[in-house]
Amino acid sequence: MIQHRESLPIILLAGPTAVGKTFLSMELARRLGTEIVNADSMQIYRYMNIGTAKPTREERALVPHHLLDVVDPDEAFDAARYLELAAPVVDGLHARGKIPLVVGGTGLYLKILTRGICPATPGNPDIREALKREEKERGLAEMHAELLRVDPVLGRKIHPHDRQRVLRALEVYRITGIPLSSRQEQHGFQETIYPSIKVFLYRERDEIYKRINERVLMMMEEGFLDEVRHLMEMGFGPELRPMQSLGYKQLVRHLLGEGTLEEAVEQIQRETRRYAKRQMTWFRGDPEFRWFHVHDVEEIMEWIQNVVAGIS
């Protein structure tokens, strides 16, 4: 059991993709005299910069960032590994009297950093390979339908296109005979690792969608297609989980001759809008997050300072 850290809190800064987290995080870090800890599940990968909207070298020179460029795209990485790496960073910042600013849109990473993690079920290579064969024969939609039958609680939470999580949930069920959701419920995320201040940034939906469309076009101008081509030339194949992520997946398909570039860009825009909607749904489920409009910098700072004063 991870024990509660009694010293300083951590600040969690979340929000949907394209809301403006990077700009605001830089401003808050500057005012608080602290450093940023990444909580974006794609920015941990090396060589994946444009498509993940990773902070630039100039931004990193202004404010130190942690947990960027941690592993190559063909290396395994999960929530347990994130907690293993993030906790020492947070403790190190606390030891220097700084309040860590944890920034990202990956809700699970933020959750386990403050509430711990359900002990993982060891994988079974034979079952995993059998599931992969079944998915090729039956299709992902049927695998998700099976998950809904054996674990309806988790099946409703996992997106039907999230291949990794669908197959992992089925693997756990076949190994243990117990739905993964039941194991998670028993754990309950009831540990308290760090006292936390949770900020969620929002914009109006139409504005978010407009920014997403524009950002995808900007990424293309910055060389997103060349980035994906370079990754493939380095030997990172389309079967890898990061290469199946939003944006990369669509451009990989285009480079393999499946559809035009225009179609790929439109798909990225559409799927990113859907992803932003899912992010907002996720964070609405955590009442500890206080929602602020991204422009309310002074109000956010005042609230953070008041909460810190109350904790200390």
CB 101 within 8 A of CB 181: no
CB 90 within 8 A of CB 37: yes
Judge whether 310 is annotated as a binding position.
Answer: no
Q: Tokens 């944890």: give the residue.
A: 102
Strand partners, 10: 196
Tokens, residue 213: 């469309």
C-alpha dihedral sign at 39, 42, 47, 53: negative
Strand partners, 202: 293
CB 69 within 8 A of CB 42: no
One-letter amino acid at 259 equals: G
Judge whether 16 is annotated as a binding position.
Answer: yes
| First-last CA distance in the chain | 24
Judge whether 76 is annotated as a binding position.
Answer: no
Which residues 6+ apart lie within 8 Å of 256 measured at CB? Answer: 238
Judge whether 15 is annotated as a binding position.
Answer: yes
Judge whether 19 is annotated as a binding position.
Answer: yes
Distance, CA of 36 to CA of 34 (rounded, Å): 7
CB 47 within 8 A of CB 243: no
One-letter amino acid at 246 equals: L
Annotated binding site for substrate: 17-22
Annotated binding site: 15-22
Annotated binding site for ATP: 15-22
